[in-house]
Structure 1
Amino acid sequence: MRKSVFKHLATACRRLARDNRGNTMAIVAGAIIPLTAVIGGGLDIARAHLAQSRLSQACDAAALAGRRAMSNEDIETAKPEATKFFNFNFPQGYMGTAAFTPTITHPDVGTVKVVAATTVPTTIMKIFSRASIPINVDCDATQNFDNIDIVLVLDVTGSMDNSISGEKKIVSLRKAVMALYDELAAAQAQLTSQGLRLRYAIVPYSTNVNVGKLVYAANPSYFQTSPSYQTRWPKSGGGYNYGSKSWDVTSYLAGTSVNVKNYIGGSNNNATWNGCIEERQTVSTITPTSSTAYPDIPTGAIDLNIDKVPDGNANTKWVPSFPKVIYDPDGSYLGDNHYCPVEAKRLNTMSRTDMQNYVNGLTPTGNTYHDIGMIWGARFISRGGIFAADNPSTFNDRPVNRYVIFMTDGILEPDSAGYYSYGVEKLDRRIVGGTYNTNVTDGNGSNLEKRHTARWLMACNAAKQGGASIWSIGFGSSVPSALADCASNDDQVAVSTNSTELIAKFKEIGKNIGALRLSK
């Protein structure tokens, strides 16, 4: 009996050994734990990778925003903007990450550095004693400067002596220019250390620009020596003739004080050239509709041909302003109605003291002629024309980036009876054409202000076509409607209604000059 039981048990074991049914269940049961670890770990790692990618994006955005916001190399001015951009792109608690604060530092000139680290909690892997996965990021943003040339075309007309919020506008302008200088001071020092340069030119304008002596120093032959003026001269039998007459101005151009009695008669009255000019030949066919159409500059408008170098033709040359000989045919002396700003400054490096001394000398005077200011701003920044030798496309094997900052506090205010950069308009008729008796303001269906606006925008366009980037800044409540047409794009036009806004805008321009880049 006992033997039979053992025999049956042995038989059953042999059958079981030969039967593989149900083995899969046993294998799965044995593998379920490592499979869970592999699959769960993959999911947790994927979440950590997604969080790491988002963290990197937030870091880049924060560094760039912080560098753009940083003022005068003060990292504290960068932190609020950098933090805001970081938190927007990587909100606290994103994907369950542990709370952290990014570190924002200033390791080098022109550089903002952002460092951040946190952990992503696991779901499955915590079963295996891995509660979180660490992630971290480290990024820099720096201002990548090449050589920089900046031309400031500044309205210094009589209205700049008026006040906004208790401060004269000319004082606000001085502060704004210095804010721009200070914003770029660190970049200027960095460029200098690399053998590169940042240069400024300044063109104060009103009814005229004071550029004549700069042009004469470049080449005396750029001036006519026997130009015609609206003047008077003695009659042989007494009295005077009135009209257009040529005078020899060789000594006057050279800086000699001349006795105008030799020209116009009367009592002795010495005159010395103040440096202002009459522009070159132009045409009166530029109409008000030109302000938006930007047509090609007419061949005869040599004044708007920014890169035209004077040749043997007198029409290609400038004429020195000679206010003490200017008379109306009715006998009225017009020379008192002439305004000449302080002398412009060509592109050159400037210390802070140089800049401060210069802007302190800006004095409000005269009416507003945007066209003459921009014409010379375009000439100063151009790589062609009479200053081409000083405006290379590269310096020490690095490119030169060029900018024009145009600032005005008012609309055009031409005066047909004033003596300005195109003579006396009611007599010379260089802008509107026609004859002396024709109405200047609305003669031939045209408007003098709109004609000058068209010329101003042509000069803006010439500067842009030459590769310069233009900012147009209005200051006050009465600014030209065409201000935006002069700017290179919509982001580079603004109107400031008080000193604080003007200073902030000039600082913002300083922050935007140069190309931001990430450096890992």
Structure 2
Amino acid sequence: MILSALSIMLLLGMGGGALDLSRIYLVKTRMQQGCDAGVLAFRKSMQGTNVTPTTYSTALAYFNANFSPGRYGSENTLFPAPTVDANVVVHGTASTSVPMSLMRIFGFRQIALTAKCDAQLQLPNTDVMFVLDTTGSMTLSNPGDSTNRITGLRNAVLNFYNTLEQAKIAGTQVRYGFVPYSNTVNVGMLLKRDWMVDDWTYQSRQFDRQEKEQTGTEKAESDSYSAWSPSSPTISTSYGDPENCVAPANKTTTTGAREDAWSPSETAVPRTKVYYRTFGGDTYSASSDSSGQCIITRNNYPTTNQQQTRTISANPKAGQPIYSTRNFFWYRPTSYSVAAFKGTAANGLMAGASNVAMANVNAPSGSNTTGSDQKVSWTASNACIEERKTLRANEAGTAWDMDVDTVPTPGNPDTQWRPVLPALVFARQVSNLNASAPTGWNAAAVNTTSGYPQLSGSAYTNNRAACPSVARKLQSKEAGLTAAAVKTYLDALVTRGQTYHDIGFLWGLRLISKEGLFSSENTSAPDGSSIARNIIFMTDGDTETRIQDYDAYGLSALDRRRTDQGSLPTNAQQDTIVEDRLQRYCSVAKNQKGITVWVIAFGTNLTPLLRDCASQGRAFQANNSQQLNETFAEIAAKIAQLRLTR
């Protein structure tokens, strides 16, 4: 009996121990899974390198989903907030107690268990090309935001950069490039001299002749008016649509108009007369500032009794002949040498030049009878380009502009790019280029004295001839693109012009492609391994072109390089062309070059056009700056490949 009792106790110990040990192992395994899930969720829900108010609650929810309190009889389960070290590694710890069952009879009441877990973003060799819409509408603010869109973009991109840099492991190369776009792109200084033309034809003008003729004689009397007074308006400013900067109509009222008799008489010289009126209301004016914002100035005049004095006095030039000088110009396509803008830099790249004289563009100066020079500058800040030869619908040949990789042939202008030079470009038989749909265009040559708009005029450079900030080739932190350098670059982005998506995406594709123009820099990482390539394409609006814009295809209303030469194009026609080409470039990036395309619609709808441009599951809509920052953080996490490190 004693031996039997001892045998039973031994069997109970062995069986109970096996049962309890199995439960301990199960609890330990499931708690480790919960800990792993928790730290992964914690790292993924961080905003870049920052912990947000919801980060821990999200992590705890994932932990509980994998190891809920009381699972398998466990007690006192804890998963406190993980910690984040200087290398942005998330460290988590979970603990619980497992009550014993049969082993209690041997004095083992419970066992304490602990699980440790770490998570970190880790990057392969990676290239990221930002294609950024920097049109005038980026000066607007989204509902609920205290800052404008361009400020939100700057913050989000800088946070993205910091996140990826924190996720790098030793020996990994991560590079970043930028293509701001609007009417065209500023890539001129990234190109080799052989890739640019020596001569190019612009919709310009040339001085023809000067004619002087007597048009009358000076009158015996001169007539002048003083300003209405008193006049003390209250001046205030607001912001208008930066892509259609037009002032509201004036709203003024005038009543009680009357006038005095001439003093001292109707025939005396000099003599004066006073006019009276009651005047009040608002007058408006509009102008674009250097940052591309549309400034609406309102002059509010309180209803006031005003007066104005008219004075007629003797004209000291009475009887002298009046001559009129008329300068005639030919407005037509004109070829100019642009070779001076190439420079002689030792690296073979374009160097640009300032104050290059273009002959005979302006009227004679002083006593000269021949035309004077137009001084033209094309430097880093405005080195925008016209695209190389394109094709209209149903034309045969090679659309060199749509070729992503082929290197230009020296001496063949069809394959080369051309400098954007607004100072040489003039409209023809049209006056108000800032109207929504200016009329009166004439594609034929015109000989006239009329001063048609010059696209470098201050009223046009921010919209009609906008040149965005300079693009940057791919560069790593180790090669000089530090966080400070990124911030300086982003802070300097200018916002102006209209929305030409195709030219921006095309050059982002050219700058990141491992074949073609920059293949020597993009083929592989320094260690010879492959590179994961990404384009992040962000826009805040739909396609918006203007036929009166000077863009990457010239002055569209006159050059008509992508539309029928025989008729004036419409904005809608151009929009369709731009969107069709964007679709083609997106397809090349995804399907031919294996590039992951991320698309963000910021403060605008994620249209089918934008969604289809993106790689599968890589399209986002961000309605405000907070959502934009979250979107960039999510993209960073997906690019960086979140991993458990313990």
TM-score by length of 1: 0.82
More strand by share: 2
Partner amino acid, structure 2, of 1:212: G
Partner-residue secondary structure (3-state), 2:531: strand
Partner of 2:643: 517
Deviations 1:12-44 (A, max 9, x none): xxxxxxxxxxxxx99988855444444444333
Say if 1:155 and 1:441 are closer, same or farther in 2 by CA, change over 3 A. closer
Are 1:174 and 2:282 counterparts? no
The answer to whether residue 418 in structure 2 is matched with residue 418 in structure 1 is no
Select which of 406, 413, 419 maps to 1:314: 413
1:483 paired with 2:610, answer: yes
Indicate whether 1:99 and 2:76 are aligned. yes
The answer for unaligned runs of 5 or more in structure 1 is 1-24, 288-297
**Cα deviation, residue 504, structure 1:** 2.5
Cα distance, 1:497 vs structure 2: 1.7
Richer in helix (by share): 1
Q: 1:76 to 1:374 in 2, by over 3 A?
A: closer
Tell me the equivalent position of 1:504. Answer: 630
Aligned to 2:341: 252
Correspondence for 2:136:
158
Offset at 1:76? Answer: 7.8
1:201 aligns with 2:177: yes
The answer to whether the aligner puts 1:220 opposite 2:228 as a matched pair is no
Q: What is the one-letter code of the residue matched to 2:357? A: N
TM-score norm. by structure 2 comes to 0.67
2:78–2:96: 8 Å Cα contact kept in structure 1? no
Residue of structure 2 equivalent to 1:186: 166
Q: 1:141 aligns with which of 116, 119, 123?
A: 119
The answer to whether structure 1 residue 280 and structure 2 residue 388 are counterparts is: yes
Residues 1-400 of structure 1 mapped to structure 2, 5 A cutoff: 31-71=7-47, 73=49, 79-102=56-79, 104-106=82-84, 109-164=87-142, 165-187=145-167, 191=169, 194-215=170-191, 219-234=192-207, 239-254=328-343, 255-262=353-360, 266-273=371-378, 274-285=382-393, 300-312=398-410, 313-330=412-429, 332-333=452-453, 335=455, 336=460, 337-348=464-475, 349=477, 350-400=481-531
* Seq. identity, %: 34
Distance 2:6 2:375 in 1: 114
Letter matched to residue 440 of structure 1: T
Q: What SS does the aligned partner of 1:100 have?
A: strand
Q: CA RMSD in A?
A: 3.0
Q: Decide whether aligned partners of structure 1 residues 417 and 145 sit closer, same or farther in structure 2, where only a CA change above 3 A counts.
A: same
Instruction: Note the residue ranges of structure 2 that are not aligned, 5 or more in a row.
Output: 211-326, 344-352, 364-370, 430-445, 447-451
Query: Would the aligned equivalents of 2:362 and 2:372 in 1 still touch at CA under 8 Å?
Result: no
1:342 is paired with a residue whose SS is coil
Please say if residues 48 and 633 of structure 2, whose CA atoms lie closer than 8 Å, have aligned partners that are also in contact: no
Distance 2:500 2:6 in 1: 91
CA drift of 1:365 comes to: 0.6
Please list the CA deviations of residues 258-286 of structure 1 after superposition, one character each: whole Å capped at 9, or x if unmatched.
22334577544311123011012222339
What is the SS of the residue equivalent to 1:257?
strand
Aligned residue type for 1:173: L
Pair 73,172 (structure 1): closer, same or farther in 2 beyond 3 Å: closer
CA distance in 1 between partners of 2:122 and 2:356 (Å): 53
Deviation at 1:145, TM superposition (A): 2.0
Alpha-carbon distance between aligned partners in 2 of 1:135 and 1:478, rounded to the nearest angstrom: 51
Give the count of matched residue pairs: 473
Q: Residue 619 of structure 2 aligns to which amino acid in structure 1?
A: V
Q: Which moved more, 1:49-58 or 1:476-485?
A: 476-485
How far apart, CA to CA, are the structure 1 residues paired with 2:92 and 2:115?
Answer: 8
> Quick one: structure 1 residues 484 and 284, their matched pair in 2 at CA, closer, same or farther if it must change by over 3 Å?
same
